[in-house]
Amino acid sequence: MRVRNIATPLIFLGVLTSPAMTAGDLVPELDFLTWPAAKYQHYYETSNYIAEGWRKLGVRVNLNPAPFPSPMLGMWFKEHKFDVVMSVLSGAPYRMEPDFFTNAQFNSKSRLPGDWNVGEFSDKIIDALGEKQLGIYDANERRKVVLELQAELHRAQPEAIIASVISTHAINTQNVDIPGFEPAPDGLRSIWNLMRMQSKQDFPVRLGQTIDQATFNPLAANTAEDLINLSLVYDRLIELGTDGKPRNRLAKNLKIVDDVTIDVTIRTGHSFSDGKPVTASDVKFSFDYFKKWEASYFKKYLERLESVTIVNDDTLRFKLSQPYAPFILHTLGQIFILPEHVWSTVLEETGLDKPQNFRNDKPIGSGPYTLNYWKEGQELFLSSRTDHYLKPGSDLLYVVFGSAEVVGAALKKGSIDVSLQPLVPTIVKEFAKEPNIKLFRTYSNGYMAARYNVGKPALKDQALRQALAFAIPYAKIIKEVHGGDATRSASSIVPINGFWHNADLELPTFNLKRARKILSDAGYSWDDAGLLHKPE
């Protein structure tokens, strides 16, 4: 990060001041939206450490914990009701695609409520680079642009990247086995590992977590938890492998005709859970339906899809308006295949104004599981389909608990078999000593960040955002809050995603002197109480 040279400032009461400078208004107090301490102690404490660092810089901060998922998700993604949010984005194979954690999150086109640019960030250079990399199919050429894009994001600082967490999940080996476990960015939550789980007892595999399913409506889903379970009930054409590479699912074969034309051959003889056959017409209907109704999570992945044409009974042609490098991973690999005979009449039968409002509490899909029952906030039972081509191992019973600590206690006791909730870092060593507990460490491609809402006046100034990056006690957060189970990154594409990660970026450290110099250079000043004022 480049900083202009200035004359040596005076030091007074631990802050920097300049005798020739006239103070402007106080920097507004930052409303810091964060996670509730009871359920997400390590996320809350991370935000608390960040706030303390910023207060030492003279910035006033109000920590605002909100229950998750509601109303926090609404304040975060739909209302943008924050100055800063403690952003925790989960790792997943499809997020190894470099567009997700760069362009998709920060392109100015994605600023609408419900989309990924929750901080309403806008930068013409970043927009241009983001659009450019989308059209490059050659991985090495695309990589050059993606590295440059990360450098520009590092310069603009739309968020302060804290760390990529190493999550530890666990199973009780008395009750369950996972033959052929595959290391994955989402660990035990990977569909490939969920389907391998086999109960050693005469009951379903019992999985503990703290987050309930928010919806079984594929058009309304927008969290990793919702999407994981929807992928068990609904098929996709492609499913991302644990290595981030595509694996055929409902698709039998893909053929790249040219840069904007892809032919897909689907499996035949497969059915929905109500016994109706899955056809090419269902596939076409699904892509057209998601695009027509602008399902918020999927909208960006369908923007360049011009048309879907049925070639014959088992083949479809996808036509793009322009080249789109993430199409196979992000579009074919994420859109759920809906039964046309159900969804084509939803609005007519319910009187709703849009399908996103349909509750869909009895979903009919062609996936490897069916929804047996759902007691909101308590339990979710998925029955395995023995006739499905993916051949799942056992039924799955999800149990919702009030905190990660309670999940861990239930696992140790044997009343659940699997902790999908990461173990609290401070108890990992204790669990490692338990003879019937097996730990699975997941090096996530997700990350934690303090995400800024630049649509609000407080954080519009790039210099302030750059300075805040040097007022965060990263080492203390990793050691004291996360028990050392986290890795630093200067980019939103973290080091585990090695091919795309820009390793040349400066890694910020806790350095108040440098943070104050950046602010002083930009015209900021401090009053006698040490509070930060904007430039005159």
| Same domain flag for 420 and 455 | no
Of 357, 389, 409, the one marking the end of a domain is 357
Look at residue 253 and give its three-state secondary structure: strand
How wide is the angle at C-alpha 440 spanned by C-alphas 69 and 407, nearest 5°? 45
> Nearest Cα to 429, choosing from 90, 68, 170?
170
Is the same domain home to 342 and 276? yes
Last residue of a domain, one of 435, 458, 473: 435
Q: What is the CATH number of the domain that holds 205?
A: 3.40.190.10
Is 343 contained in some domain?
yes
Whether residues 242 and 183 share a domain: the answer is no
- DSSP E strands in 27-110: the ranges are 30-34, 61-65, 84-89
Picking from 489, 115, 516, the residue whose alpha carbon sits closest to that of residue 298 is 115
Does one domain contain both 29 and 150?
yes
Single-letter residue type at 424 = V
- Do 241 and 292 fall into the same domain? yes
Q: Which residues lie closer than 8 Å to 276 by C-beta, 6 or more apart?
A: 339, 341
CA dist list (Å): 277 to 71, 280, 287, 441: 39, 10, 18, 40
Question: Per the domain annotation, does 363 fall within a domain?
Answer: no
- Same domain, residue pair 378 and 452: no
Sequence-distant contacts of 295-300: CB under 8 A, at least 24 apart: 295/218, 295/219, 295/220, 295/356, 296/114, 296/115, 296/222, 297/114, 297/221, 297/222, 297/227, 298/219, 298/334, 298/335, 299/115, 300/104, 300/109, 300/110, 300/115, 300/116
> For residue 268, what are its two tokens?
């035949």
Long-range contacts of residues 493-496, Cβ cutoff 8 Å, at least 24 apart: 493/98, 493/101, 493/102, 493/146, 493/150, 493/445, 494/164, 494/444, 494/445, 494/446, 494/447, 495/164, 496/164, 496/185, 496/443, 496/444, 496/445
In this structure, the answer to whether residues 335 and 267 fall within a common structural domain is yes
In a domain, residue 226? The reply is no
Q: Which of 435, 461, 483 is the last residue of a domain?
A: 435
In this structure, are 202 and 256 located in the same domain? no
Q: Identify the CA nearest to 366 among candidates 390, 349, 344.
A: 390
Same domain, yes or no: 452 and 495: yes
Looking up residue 261, the CATH number of its domain turns out to be 3.90.76.10
The total of structural domains in the chain comes to 3
Q: Could you tell me if residue 220 is inside a domain?
A: no
Strands 84-89 and 447-452 come out as antiparallel
Task: Tell me, yes or no, whether 467 lies in a domain.
Answer: yes
Same domain, 185 and 134: no
**Domain membership flag for residue 216:** no
Q: What is the rounded CA–CA span in Å between residue 161 and residue 35?
A: 17
Separation of alpha carbons 338 and 415, rounded Å: 35
In this structure, the number of other CB atoms found within 10 A of the CB of residue 512 comes to: 18
Give me the CATH number covering residue 142: 3.10.105
Tell me the CB-side half-sphere exposure of residue 133, using CA atoms within 13 A.
Answer: 26
Query: What pTM value is reported for the model?
Result: 0.84
d(CA 533, CA 536) in angstroms, rounded, equals 8
Distance from CA of residue 272 to its chain's centroid? 29
**CA-based Rg of the chain, rounded to a whole angstrom?**
24
Q: Which of 337, 350, 398, 355 is nearest to 373 (CA)?
A: 398
Q: Is residue 535 part of a domain?
A: no
Only one residue has tokens 């081509």, namely 389
Whether 536 is covered by a domain: the verdict is no
Element (H, E) at 206: strand 205-209
Give the 3-state secondary structure of residue 164. strand
Q: Print burial letters for 35-63: b (CB count within 10 Å at least 16), e (below 16).
A: bebebbbbbbbbbbbbbebbbbbbbebeb
Looking at the structure, do residues 304 and 393 belong to the same domain, yes or no? no
pLDDT truncated to tens, each residue of the chain (536 aa)? 333 333 333 333 334 344 344 579 999 999 999 999 988 889 999 999 999 999 999 999 999 999 988 899 999 999 999 999 999 998 888 899 999 999 999 999 999 888 889 999 999 999 999 999 999 999 999 999 999 999 999 999 999 999 998 989 999 999 999 999 999 999 999 999 999 999 998 899 999 999 899 999 999 998 888 999 999 999 999 998 988 889 999 999 999 999 999 999 999 999 999 999 999 999 999 999 999 999 988 998 999 999 999 999 999 999 999 999 999 999 999 999 999 999 999 999 999 999 999 999 999 999 999 999 999 999 999 999 999 999 999 999 999 998 889 999 999 999 999 999 989 887 888 999 999 999 999 999 999 999 999 998 889 999 999 999 999 999 999 999 998 999 999 999 999 999 999 999 999 999 999 999 999 999 999 999 999 999 98
Q: Are residues 279 and 147 part of one domain?
A: no
Domain that holds residue 135: 23-165+445-528
